[in-house]
Copies of this chain bind each other. A is one copy, B any other.
């Protein structure tokens, strides 16, 4: 298939990285926060959302200067896909003919599925794709919860997927400009196994933990430990079940690793084996102390 013709797009060398035409697709917590952060700079930020009320809210608070249409998409320098993984792919399949020459990035929490799909679509429609994952969130969802400083101090993970260095550098620049403390470039595979450990396992754990029949009685008997483990049980189950299933193998592996280690501690307790138990807890402490955080 031939590259789709496109009109009105600036060549990469003509783009000032602080004055871009940016379209944000999906103005939820992440998309809304990116819109609020980016529109504080000199970019022209427009947005797309399936909910017209969200568009109105985003316009009212100047998070976007206009709703994006096909014309805006065909002129944009950068398209940020901020919807659920499958919805990102569906959007690009539908609108790909308008994206030739643009830089496209996503914000999905799992990469092994979406990156190959979007890399394939990038070849088909002649746009450039760099995977992205700003490591920020909160317990509330939606545009109403979005805030310009959501990414302050966060890591912004980038998955180059073979894109030119200049495109990756532009994404690094943008990540810094919204407040990210660092960017890390990695592969979809390493991204997904790390996310299984650092984020998905804690979410699975929080849900499993609060299922104890004793949980409703916790008030008065609990302090920081309960609060910390249970916090992220306040989950968006539609989004997270999609993210879990798109990361099936690494997540299953990491849960199995945790089940194994927790069973070791459980058995040392059940068997009253003080030396083994103390050794296991010491090992946990030493790892945590060595990492320092």
Contact = CB atoms under 8 A, between A and B. Distances in A.
Contact of A241 (B252, B257, B278): B278
A202 B229 contact: yes
A262 to B, nearest CB: 4
Interface string A259-282: 101111110011010100110111
Contact of A207 (B194, B207, B230, B285): B285
A281 B207 contact: yes
A57 interface: no
How many interface residues does chain A have, given as a range? 35 or more
A60 interface: no
Contact of A262 (B193, B228, B259): B259
Interface stretch (A13-21, A40-48, A212-220): A212-220
24 contacts: A155-B223, A193-B214, A197-B212, A198-B222, A201-B209, A202-B228, A206-B284, A208-B258, A208-B284, A209-B261, A211-B283, A212-B257, A215-B287, A216-B287, A228-B231, A229-B229, A233-B287, A234-B285, A234-B289, A241-B274, A252-B266, A252-B270, A258-B262, A259-B259
